Each structure stands twice: as structure tokens, then as C-alpha cells.
Amino acid sequence: MEQEFYIGLAQRVRIIAEKADPFTRRRLLDLAKRYDAKGGPVSRSGATERPLPPPRTTPPASVLSGPGEA
């Protein structure tokens, strides 16, 4: 179901790109390629997304130190 969503989204972006100026067209077609990658078979070998950082277990030191108003 999610794959169909991204494939449809890629198609809509391509339709919009047909009417756009060259710079915007290039950006939209790049976006459509990324949606196609999400909608296609699951393959993480060529993933360009950065992993999320590990969850923080303690608040930053700036919150705990120094005078401030409560």
C-alpha cells in the first residue's frame, strides 16, 4: 500500500515538472526519482538517508548549569 502511494506521488510530481521552468523541473524530477526508490523494492544498499542519532538519555549541560529564572 505504501509503495503504491509513493509511485503515485512520483507520477504527480512528474506531471507538475512538465509545466515547470528548467531549474524547478530538474529538482522535481530528482524528487520523483526518490519517490520511485521508496515505492520500488526495498533496497537499502544505495540509501542516501542519514541514520537517526541515538536517543539522548540526559538533558544537555546548558539546561542544567548556570543561573536562570524558574
Assigned domain for 57 exists = no
Assigned domain for 58 exists = no
Low-confidence ranges of the chain (pLDDT < 70): 41-50, 52, 56, 58-70
The chain-wide mean pLDDT, for the chain, equals 78
Instruction: Round to whole Å and give the CA distance between 31 and 38.
Output: 11
Assigned domain for 36 exists = yes
0.85 surpassed by pTM: no
User: Who's near 55: CB < 8 A, 6+ residues apart?
Assistant: none
**Number of independent structural domains in the chain:** 1
Helix 2-18 / helix 22-39 crossing angle, nearest 10 deg: 170
Span 33-50, pLDDT tens digits: 999 998 876 444 444 556
Assigned domain for 18 exists = yes
What cell does 62 get? Answer: 546548558
Assigned domain for 63 exists = no
Assigned domain for 29 exists = yes
Radius of gyration of the chain (CA): 20
Give the single-character DSSP code of 52. P
pLDDT for the residue 57: 73
Q: Which domain holds residue 24?
A: 1-41
Assigned domain for 3 exists = yes
